[in-house]
Every structure is written in C-alpha cells, then in structure tokens.
Amino acid sequence: MNLNIPDTRQRLLAQRLDAGSQIVATDVAQEFDVSLDTIRRDILALEAKGLARRVRGGAMPIARPADPLHARLDAADSVSPAIIRTAVQEIGDAPTLLMDGGATTLSLVPLLAGVTNRLVITPSPWAAIACQEHAIAVFLIGGTLSARGGIAVGDLALLRAGEIAADIAILGACGIDTKFGLSTDDHAEAQMKQAMHAAAARTIVVTGAQKIGRRARHHTLPLGQIDAVITDADHTMTAPFLEKGATFISVETV
C-alpha cells in the first residue's frame, strides 16, 4: 500500500473515522511516515467532503443522525450497567423527574422504582409505558410524536413542559462538544430538551462515549447549563471538557 498517494491515506483515515475513531494528526503522520502538513491537508480534504470534523490536533468523526427510536430500542440492553448505576445514584431520591426519550434514558427506568411519591414526567410514550410496568407514577406530555427520538414535540408539548416544576431533567445526547455543547439531530426535539431543562432545578445528561466530542445538527444547551454529564468515556475524552469547567462523572465499564 502506497501511503504517498493522497487518496490512499484519505481512504484509510475515512475508514477510521467511520468506525468512530478520533484522528490525532501527529500520531498518524508518524505512522504513515509523512509530514504533519500532509496529514493536515488530508484532514482538510476529508472535511470538505463531509467525512470529518476538524479539531485542534486532528479530526473527529461526523455525528450522523441516529436511526428512529423504534429501530434503536434493542440498544437499551447494551447500555453500560455502570452508567445506569451511576445515573441512578446521582438522581437519588429526587421525587419529580423529567425524563427524555432514547435508549440510554429508557434503560434507567427499572432502577427508578421504590422511591415514595416519585413521579416521572416524560414526553416519551416508551418511557411512560416502562414506568407503568415498574409501578412508577407517570405523567405523559402529549403532542406530535417525533419519528427520530420518539418524544412529543411542538407547541402543545412545549406549553405543557412550561407548566411543570421538576427536581431533575434527565436528558440523552446526540452529541456533546466543548464549544457546541449539547446537540440534537432534530430541531423540534432540541426545543423540547431546552424546555425540559428550563422546567427542572438540575439537568443531567446521560450518554455513552460515542457521543462525546461530536456535534449533531442542532445546538441544544451550552455546557454551563448542564449540571452533570454521566458517561463511560475515558479521561482522554473528558479532559477537554473538564478544562472548560464542565462536570463529568466518568464510570468504568463492566
């Protein structure tokens, strides 16, 4: 394989990005035995094709829109048990929870039962049904059901969210970035998440490592408005966020 050919290098880099790996320019330049400027040009070329997001020191994968929720429900079974346990500990005995949709937040429901007078308020029919299955009192926010995230959106849903006072909003993430903050694939869902944040005393984001350092299409919340991010990302990935003053609770995968 001739790594002096730009198309060859860029194809290899694109494959790594597509697999979710970050490109560190100095490491790749040494591996490919080419100059750092050459790798920087490769990254610029990939960014121009929409295959990479250039960052300081290299490139990150592009955050592609997630599949519709009904196609991702099996992913709830693959959420790190350590994330689930840590999130439940952070929630504690808070009596009123605003719960987002998504496979990661849905995975928390079975461990939220047993708190006296707990009420879960959610725009997600899937979360509402799961709460009923586990004898958790639930209030379902109605509205137009979004296809991608499976939550109620639109004027009616936003109006109802504005009439709520919750202890904690538990949000999922399509992406979370040091500059762009929390981001969402769908604009209407981003608005709903913003309304949930505004209705709660605290906001916790629960997400897997694959969403860290990525930007989805629509900015949702700046880092400064998020009280804690619970993730299984390692220190290398969370360090840039900690430097910005964000609170990340990293857990060990099991």
User: What domain count does the chain have?
Assistant: 2
Q: What is the pTM of this model?
A: 0.73
User: Are both 244 and 156 inside the same structural domain?
Assistant: yes
CA distances from 215 to 71, 119, 154, 253 (A): 22, 32, 23, 24
- Give 10-residue mean pLDDT values along the chain (254 residues): 83 80 88 91 85 83 62 61 93 96 90 94 95 96 88 95 96 91 92 97 94 87 96 88 90 58
* Residue 18 pLDDT: 73
User: Are both 49 and 79 inside the same structural domain?
Assistant: no
User: Are both 232 and 162 inside the same structural domain?
Assistant: yes
Which residue range forms the structural domain that includes residue 164?
Answer: 69-250
* Residue 73 pLDDT: 59
User: Are both 85 and 202 inside the same structural domain?
Assistant: yes
* Residue 197 pLDDT: 98
Q: What is the CATH number of the domain that holds 84?
A: 3.40.50.1360
Write the CB contacts of 227 (distance below 8 Å, at least 6 apart in sequence).
202, 203, 204, 247
Q: What is the CATH number of the domain that holds 43?
A: 1.10.10.10
* Residue 61 pLDDT: 78
| Residue 217 falls inside a structural domain | yes
| Residue 1 falls inside a structural domain | no
